[in-house]
C-alpha cells in the first residue's frame, strides 16, 4: 500500500534555481494539498486542488506554483528558490467531503 509518494526525500538547492517536488497518490482521492512545516509555525497550506484541472491558493502561496493534470499527480514548483523556502514539504490527499488527510513522508528542502 503506497498511499502518497513524495520525491525527492531531501534536496539541497542553490538560491535562484528552479525545483519541482513530486507527489503521487494511488487512492483516487479528489483533493490534494501541499503544506510546509516549519518549527514553531506548524503546517501551513501552500496550494490545494479539489479535483483534477483545478487549483487554489492556500495561506502561503507566494513563490510556489502547482498543476493538477490528472487525479494522481500534484507537483509543486519553486520557480526561483529563496532561502526562506527552506522547509519540510508535505503532500496530502483526501476524499473531497471528508476531513481525513493522508500525508506523504515529506520532502526536506534546503535552499542555500
Does residue 9 come out as left (phi exceeding 0), alpha (psi in the -120 to 50 range) or beta?
A: alpha
Residue 40 found at the interface with another protein (CB under 8 A) = yes
Instruction: Give residues 60-89 in contact with another protein (rule: CB under 8 A).
Output: none
Among 13, 27, 45, 52, binds another protein (CB under 8 A): 45
Residue 25 pairs with which residues in a beta bridge?
4
Residue 92 found at the interface with another protein (CB under 8 A) = yes
Q: Which residue lies nearer to another protein by CB, 19 or 92?
A: 92
Residue with cell 542553490: 14
Residue 50 found at the interface with another protein (CB under 8 A) = yes
Does residue 108 come out as left (phi exceeding 0), alpha (psi in the -120 to 50 range) or beta?
A: beta
Q: What are phi and psi of 87, to 5 degrees?
A: -175, 175
List of residues contacting another protein (CB under 8 A): 4, 31, 33, 35, 40-45, 48, 50, 58-59, 90, 92, 94, 96-97, 99-101, 103-106
Amino acid at each position: 500500500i503506497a498511499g502518497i509518494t513524495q520525491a525527492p526525500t531531501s534536496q539541497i538547492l542553490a538560491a535562484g534555481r528552479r525545483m519541482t517536488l513530486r507527489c503521487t497518490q494511488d487512492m483516487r482521492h479528489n483533493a490534494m494539498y501541499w503544506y510546509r512545516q516549519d518549527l514553531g509555525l506548524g503546517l501551513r497550506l501552500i496550494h490545494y486542488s479539489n479535483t483534477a484541472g483545478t487549483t487554489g491558493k492556500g495561506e502561503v502561496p507566494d513563490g510556489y506554483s502547482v498543476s493538477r493534470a490528472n487525479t494522481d499527480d500534484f507537483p509543486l514548483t519553486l520557480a526561483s528558490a529563496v532561502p526562506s523556502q527552506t522547509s519540510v514539504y508535505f503532500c496530502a490527499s483526501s476524499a473531497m467531503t471528508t476531513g481525513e488527510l493522508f500525508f506523504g513522508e515529506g520532502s526536506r528542502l534546503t535552499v542555500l
